Structure 1
Amino acid sequence: MSFLIRLSGWIDWLNERIGRASIWLVLFATLISAGNALSRYGFSLSSNAMLEVQWYLYSAVFLLCSGYTFMRNEHVRIDLVSNRMSARGRNWVDIVGIVVFLLPVAMMIVWMSWPSFVDSYMTNEQSSNAGGLVRWPVRLLIPVGFALLGIQAVSELIKRIAFLTGHGPDPIAPSAHAPVEIPGQPGADR
């Protein structure tokens, strides 16, 4: 079990780093959005490339931060039902949800979106908009984002099993959302 807990720590560390870095994309997308609005309404200038950069950045935030959001327990949850359950019951519901729904869907999306990325990359697919951007980077975000979500699901599964077997704290408890450190390396997160 200790190997699995260390593996979970490494996965959490990875998604924590990617999530923190991706948060900066919100600032860049906001600045580009403001620049687009200023140039369009202030100077009657427009750029499809800048609009697409803005869309790409927002896509990156949502896709790359999905694992981070899950790790921080800030995803959509039916609290009306889960708050009435015991900690063990909530963890069992999460285990079933992860195994039956999340992991299969994440793997399916990675599997099905990879050929689309490869085809786009090989053909150097371009936007159909005049002055638009190359498409393969945004197509790559789909399998990468869902792969990150999938490996985070594995980490969350490990943490929930560790809790149920008495090898770890409750991963759903509010105190479980402290910054992530790799097990065995104190201060590695700073």
Structure 2
Amino acid sequence: MKILLKVAGGIDALNSLVGRGVTWLVLIVAVISAGNAVMRKLFNLSSNAWLELQWYLFGAIFLLAAGYTFLRNEHVRVDVLSQRLPERTQVGIEIFGVLFFLLPAACLVLWLSIPFFWDSFIAHELSSNTDGLIRWPAKLLIPVGFGLLILAGISHLIKCIGFLRGNCNNPMAVSNGKSSEEALAEDILAAQQAGNPDQSAQGR
């Protein structure tokens, strides 16, 4: 079990590295999007290459961050019923879901996406739009993204089994005790109070 947990730790490190890298893509996409809008509105200039690059990067953010999002327990779960169950039962349900839903579906998409990318790569497929980009890098994102998600699922499965065996902490536990939505709501409230100190004082 210790060896498997080390493997899980290596997978988590890989997905964390990719996730941190993807955060920079968000900034790049924002700059490109703003630049495209400025050039179109002010100078009446447009480029299909830059527009497609923006779409490619959006796809990269979504696909490459899937494993990291799963690692951070940020994927949406329909857990209205399971959250009322004992902790070990919740982890058991999680194991069932990973084994019979997540991994089979992700593996199927990975299997089907490899020839989808390879055919595009061999043919050196180009966009049908004027001055468009080559297509295979965008299609490569699909098997890479789902490969990372599969690895994240395997890591999560190992940690769930390790938790049931008493070898590690519950991987489903939120590390900081707050969901992303709760943290965002607190940040917005703090920003509003900072911008309206008089109103904040009245509220107290």
The code of the aligned residue for 1:56 comes to: Y
Larger Rg: 2
The code of the aligned residue for 1:114 comes to: I
Residue matched to 1:93? 93
In structure 1, the gaps of 5 or more residues are: 178-190
| Partner SS, residue 67 of structure 2 | helix
Deviations 1:9-63 (A, max 9, x none): 0000000000100111010011100011111111111111100000000100110
Offset, 1:90? 1.4
The code of the aligned residue for 2:2 comes to: S
Instruction: Choose between structure 1 and 2 for higher RCO, CA contacts under 8 A separated by at least 6 residues.
Output: 1
The CA distance in 2 between the partners of 1:15 and 1:176, in whole Å, is 19
In structure 2, the gaps of 5 or more residues are: 178-204
8 Å CA contact 1:170, 1:176 repeated in 2: no
Deviations 1:145-173 (A, max 9, x none): 00000011000000000001111111111
| Partner SS, residue 81 of structure 2 | helix
Aligned identity (percent) is 52
Offset, 1:79? 3.6
Deviations 1:46-84 (A, max 9, x none): 111100000000100110000000000011112422321
**2:151 equivalent to 1:151:** yes
Q: Runs (4+) of structure 1 moved beyond 6 Å?
A: none
Residue matched to 1:112? 112
| Partner SS, residue 175 of structure 2 | helix
Deviations 1:67-126 (A, max 9, x none): 000000011112422321221121111111100011011111111000011111111000
**2:63 equivalent to 1:66:** no
Residue matched to 1:170? 170
Residue matched to 2:35? 35
Offset, 1:176? 7.7
Change over 3 Å in CA distance of 1:64–1:78 after alignment to 2: same
| Partner SS, residue 112 of structure 1 | helix
TM-score (norm 2): 0.84
The code of the aligned residue for 2:28 comes to: F
How many residue pairs align between the two structures? Answer: 177
The code of the aligned residue for 1:6 comes to: K
